[in-house]
Amino acid sequence: MSEIKAILSELRPEFNFDDSSNFIEDGYLDSFDIISLISTIEEKYGVVVDGLDIVPENFISYEAIENLIKKSGGNA
């Protein structure tokens, strides 16, 4: 999970993601951030995120992102 925290901190350094229980609702991530995040995840973990998995629920928390990486075949 620390790698996910590092990726998010690099993507949006102005936010402390630890303070949020829902990254989408709290405005920490928008659609452009999610596309950048997916690209980084695919590159870093050597996976391909299925288009059907690109839904807000998969990006609301560290755990949700970690589960998405695992579902895509990576080890988060």
CATH number of 2-71: 1.10.1200.10
The domain ranges of the chain are: 2-71
Q: Is the entire prediction scored with pTM above 0.85?
A: yes
The confidence score (pLDDT) of residue 49 equals: 97
- What value does the mean pLDDT take over residues 51-71? 97
Q: Residue 14 burial (CB < 10 Å; 0-12/13-18/19+)?
A: exposed
Query: Looking up tokens 């579902």, which residue turns up?
Result: 71
pLDDT digits (tens, 9 = 90+) for 17-28: 999 999 999 999
Closest CA to 26 of 38, 12, 37: 12
